[in-house]
Amino acid sequence: MTISGNYDMRPLMLSYRQDFMLLSPEETVAMSPLLMLDKPMPPMQVAHGGAESDEFKRQASTWHAALAERGEAKLVAVPDANHFNVFLGLEDPQGEVWDFLTSHLKGEAATKATE
């Protein structure tokens, strides 16, 4: 599961953050998971807050689409959550996040038991 991430660092390097991050173009690419996907991925959830900036929402959507090309992926928007409190919308054991996680953990356990 990934939550409210920067999956492509290149846009950050176009902002004031470059002044203190001081990353080379090569380092920027190396720190961008979106640009390093080159193999199938396990089932993944991508969560972001519904009240986050458009850039965080775009990053989550783009990351989700890239993951979905390589395996099962689910995009979750936590209503009214921002970048700092998005975790507060994920803790409900009856919620969709837990359903996804437990279904795959159970499936993994069942697969290992039959090996």
Q: What is the pLDDT of residues 36-76, one digit of tens each?
A: 998 888 899 999 999 999 999 999 999 999 999 999 999 99
Contact 44, 73 (CB under 8 A): yes
Domain with residue 27: its CATH number is 3.40.50.1820
Domain that holds residue 69: 2-88
Give the Cα separation of 7 and 19 in Å (integer). 20
Instruction: Decide if 31 is inside a domain.
Output: yes
Kindly state whether residue 110 falls inside one of the protein's structural domains: no
| pLDDT tens-digit readout, 23-45 | 899 999 999 999 999 888 889 99
Per the domain annotation, does 106 fall within a domain?
Answer: no
Ranges 6-10, 66-70, 109-113: which has the least confidence: 109-113
Assess if residue 94 is contained within a domain.
no
Q: 103 lies in a domain?
A: no
Which tokens hold the place of 36?
């390093």
**Is residue 72 situated within a structural domain?**
yes
Stated pTM of the model:
0.82
- Residue 61 has phi, psi (to 5 degrees) of -65, -40
Distance between CA atoms of 69 and 40, rounded to whole angstroms? 8
* pLDDT at 15 > cutoff 80: yes
Number of domains forming the structure of the chain: 1
